[in-house]
Chains A and B, each alone.
Chain A
Amino acid sequence: MKAAVVVFPGSNRDGDVARALRLAGGEVATVWHAEDELPKGTDLVVLPGGFSYGDYLRCGAIAARTMIMDAVRAHAARGGLVLGICNGFQILCESGLLPGVLMRNANLRFICHWQHLKVERTDTAFTRRYAPGQVIKVCVAHGEGNYFADEATIGRLEGEGRIAFRYCDEAGNVTADANRNGSLNAIAGVYSEKFNVLGLMPHPENLIDDLAGGTDGRGLFESLVARAA
């Protein structure tokens, strides 16, 4: 599986996600933001976490307007896989590849903590290696992860089964306490219409190792590698 990790100025979890992909058996290339095409044979494009262009405008807004994103949009239109994590999710929303916006966290502060997620469906390219209804432990680290969309959009996302993950407690209960950034319907990640684009706020790439928190994030990368193999 050939993955291309796009590096914007200010990306800072590009190395973390590359490590997770390699561990799962993926082949990883990095693509500089100023380039205008993806490496030949790219199966998966990853927009990593960080603060692209400093996030000095709205998070992800500038990155969404770079040339490389035209190539990413074309890749997605062809049915290619795209994964946006944290800042990458924000970029996907800003670039129109996913609906909705990510507002400031409900408490108006940056938050970094362990977080449980409910895997909503396991029949997508991103989640095949998880068990139906599985609760996984990942981490979050963001100031603007509060997912919002208008009522019609949320209704459509729910109706089409496009919610990828929801914030929940250890037992899998979707509670207000477990949804600390205040996202609508506790949404932690959403799919595109064709389920080939996934954006999520939490960081599965930091949960690949028993010594550093656990290995619940591996399933996502293993699913992707298995799917493209």
Chain B
Amino acid sequence: MIRNDAPITPELVREHGLKEDEYERFKALIGREPTLTELGIVSAMWNEHCSYKSSRIHLRTLPTKAPWVIQGPGENAGVIDIGDGQAVVFKMESHNHPSFIEPYQGAATGVGGILRDVFTMGARPIAALNFLRFGAPDHPRTRHLLAGVVAGIGGYGNSFGVPTVGGSVGFHERYNGNILVNAMAVGLAKADEIFYAKATGVGNPIVYLGSKTGRDGIHGATMASAEFDDTSEEKRPTVQVGDPFAEKLLLEACLELMKSGAVIAIQDMGAAGLTCSAVEMGAKGDLGIELWLEKVPCREEGMTPYEMMLSESQERMLMVLRPGLEAEAEAIFRKWGLDFAIIGKTTDTLRFVVKHHGEIVADLPIKELGDEAPVYDRPHISNVFRQAIAPETVAAPVSNVEALKRLVGSPDLCSKRWVWEQYDHLILGNTVQAPGGDAAIVRVEDGPKGLALTTDVTPRYCEADPVEGGKQAVAEAWRNITAVGGKPLAVTDNLNFASPERPEAMGQLVGCIRGIGEACRALDFPVVSGNVSLYNETNGQGILPTPTIGGVGVLDDVRKHATLAFKREGDVLIVIGETKGWLGQSLYLRDICGREEGAPPPVDLAAEKRNGDFVRHLISSGLVDTVHDCSDGGLAVTLAEMAMAGGIGALVPECPVDLPCNAFLFGEDQGRYVIAVDGDSAPDILYSAASKGIPAVILGMTGADSLTLPGEEPISVAELRTAHERWLPAYMSGEIAPTP
């Protein structure tokens, strides 16, 4: 008989984030009133963050398989085969809620958590990326949050020793009350030496490794499963504190231990700490787990079983060890100065039994804790239809060159150097394309292979049309990898949405997942890992739907890659893909005309694939070394970015007769690339494109030190650079008024 340590009142149930019917379901499952520890355990297992209860039925529709997929969703991270016995392990995860409350530690532990997910599987992290969204620049908290988040990401990744090679930073008032911090990690492992969470064998020791358990982060996952209100500040104690030094030691110790052959199963203690990791290891292996909490290394005295089970202290791991190898394993951990304790064993009872000094404080059915978690098919409505905007109806409020200058200096398109200079992006010496390119490129060890890595989504498109927005996020990730010469292989998705309990927000989630699925199928770009972050709303105001896509591709020979910088004067500029002048939801329409309106550009997945395959072939066959994908801000911004990166100008003599010039220059039609090639090879490329039915048009030519748009005064590359580099440092130092 379990002693009931506290009466379970309806208030207590509510404080644990459980709905009344969820609690009743739990009581029915165990046939009695739970103990406080048990209530804590189930609240951790059944919250949105851990159980995916609102998203699960929709996530099932995503394509997750391909011949090169070794491990799809459901493990600590996804695993793909890149040939030569090598595998890439990667995942992206959000740390939105904690980062809003305590930006430095929230972001730092987000990086720590995702790195741990990757090395838990036996991979050494070789790159990190992120995707960040903040509120409007003139919101009073934005500067503070941005400074803290960036310092936190750098503080953790730099010390751990992984290059942070890419990412995205943007602003929108809809993130005023809920910022987004999505962190992605990429690791390299041997394809036949991947480690999993599934426990095997009865009576095997369960070992606790890493840092000690403290009271930090208790209920972190529950916090991340609720919307914010004015009292969210009080949740600061639920944010964990990161120790990158401990994580670095944990990495080295884990990889050394894995090599020794002592590890049967391994799971990092992330969200919901000891509870989630122990239950997952047992449930996956069809085994029971018994824990002896008095053996858990604690940072503070007098911690209760409830606190130990729910602590989210960082830099901890749980392993099932091969019996007889405990001493060898312990020696490795002691050498690295880390805690090592046998805290339980596997059993054949299929029960999750937690004891404290011999007394049973929890005794729950282990499979049901995961499998019987509530699954909801929540009501959802698709969002209002937005009218397409005809290019002819958008008058140009300023000259096109003025519009370009404003756009390249705007908060969303300006240089993010201030941010990525705080990240060590060069450690390990394999960074071939540092931040600032379409996709980052890291060489795999001594080559010749390389990885192309990117994080993408255009939230304003998703808001206007979730299905097209979801497709576009995948297509853009695929395109960015292609633009550097990579073959896109797989994605990790980080779905950031508002409260699923509101049908319109739920509709955004459902629509975006549908679009992601369509695009991933069409582009042969399966989802191998991911994370869902819901309840990103404050006082009823939700974020823009933001399904971040982290894409991974491979370059067989990293020497054959493309960058966006103009390299020679006199190169012919060719745009691949069709330009229709789509201004709906464009940055030009929003930032220059002041209209956040219209339907977003449609994504033609067949054209996307055809155009991309063509461009990739040009790069891998060594014909083209200068490519930039055409996205936010259209052709004009694309050209400006290429000019600024290379310090060489360009001349675009005319606009097509059938399009208004502003729509031609700033329209955001999808599936396009600008390439710069020498004059001799241009005819062949145009001919080859025509023979494949791929739209390819000469735009102009590179040269001189100015960019000249049709009918406009030339603007010097130096002036563009000044505009591009100015805003963020000036904003962060308070030199300029926050409003753009």
Contacts and interface: CB of A to CB of B under 8 A. Distances in A.
The 4 closest A-B pairs by CB, nearest first: A12-B161, A54-B245, A141-B424, A51-B159
A208 interface: yes
Interface string A69-107: 000000000000000000000000000000000000000
Given A9-B249, A13-B161, A110-B154, A211 B558 contact: yes
Contacts of A112: 158, 420-426
A104 to B, nearest CB: 13
Contact of A54 (B243, B336, B559): B243
Interface string B483-503: 000000000000000000000
A208 B429 contact: yes
A40 interface: no
A13 B430 contact: no
A10 B159 CA distance: 7
A56 to B, nearest CB: 7
A50 B426 contact: no
Interface in B546-562: 558-559
Interface in B631-686: none
A19 B447 CA distance: 14
Contacts of B425: 112
A2 interface: no
A20 to B, nearest CB: 8
Contacts of B249: 9-10
Given A51-B159, A51-B244, A51-B245, A13 B427 contact: yes
A30 B347 CA distance: 43
A158 interface: no
A206 B161 CA distance: 13
Contacts of A109: 151, 421-422
Contact of A110 (B161, B248, B424): B424
Contacts of B430: 212
B443 interface: yes
A180 B427 CA distance: 19
B83 interface: no
Contacts of A133: none
Nearest to A53: B245
Contacts of A13: 161, 427
A45 to B, nearest CB: 21
Given A9-B249, A110-B155, A205-B429, A211 B422 contact: no
Range class of the A interface residue count = 20 to 34
B190 to A, nearest CB: 18
Contacts of A110: 151, 154-155, 158, 422-424
Contacts of A19: 429
B432 interface: yes
Interface in B230-258: 243-246, 248-249
Nearest to A210: B559
Contacts of A205: 429
A56 B151 CA distance: 16
B711 interface: no
Contacts of A209: 429
22 contacts: A9-B249, A9-B337, A10-B245, A12-B161, A12-B248, A16-B427, A16-B429, A51-B158, A53-B245, A54-B159, A55-B159, A110-B154, A110-B155, A110-B423, A112-B424, A143-B158, A205-B429, A208-B429, A211-B432, A211-B558, A211-B559, A212-B431
A139 interface: yes
B566 interface: no
B334 to A, nearest CB: 11
B337 A211 contact: no
B33 to A, nearest CB: 45
Given A139-B426, A141-B427, A213-B431, 15 more contacts: A9-B248, A10-B248, A10-B249, A12-B161, A51-B159, A54-B159, A109-B421, A110-B155, A110-B158, A112-B420, A112-B422, A112-B424, A206-B426, A211-B447, A212-B432
Contacts of B736: none
B160 interface: yes
Interface residues of B, number: 32
A1 interface: no
B422 A203 contact: no
B325 interface: no
Nearest to A209: B429
A22 B564 CA distance: 33
Nearest to B729: A107
Nearest to B155: A110
A212 B428 CA distance: 10
A211 B446 CA distance: 11
Nearest to A56: B245
A229 B180 CA distance: 55
Contacts of A12: 159-161, 248, 427
A139 B158 CA distance: 14
A212 B561 CA distance: 12
Contacts of A55: 159, 245
A16 B427 CA distance: 8
Interface in B381-434: 420-432
A15 interface: yes
Contacts of B447: 211
A111 B427 contact: no
A50 B154 contact: no
Contacts of A49: 427
Scoring B244, B425, B426 by chain A CB atoms within 10 A of each residue's CB, the highest score goes to B426
Scoring B151, B428, B432 by chain A CB atoms within 10 A of each residue's CB, the highest score goes to B428
Interface in B146-177: 151, 154-155, 158-161
Contacts of A20: 429
A112 B161 CA distance: 13
A212 B248 contact: no
A212 B433 CA distance: 8
A170 to B, nearest CB: 12
A108 to B, nearest CB: 10
A143 B248 CA distance: 18
Interface in A121-165: 139, 141, 143
Interface in B245-273: 245-246, 248-249
B155 A213 contact: no
Given A51-B244, A54-B245, A211-B558, A15 B424 contact: no
A118 B408 CA distance: 34
Interface in A171-205: 203, 205
B616 to A, nearest CB: 19
Interface string B542-583: 000000000000000011000000000000000000000000
Nearest to B161: A12
Interface string B328-371: 00000000110000000000000000000000000000000000
A200 B443 CA distance: 27
A3 to B, nearest CB: 17
A206 to B, nearest CB: 5
Contacts of B151: 109-110
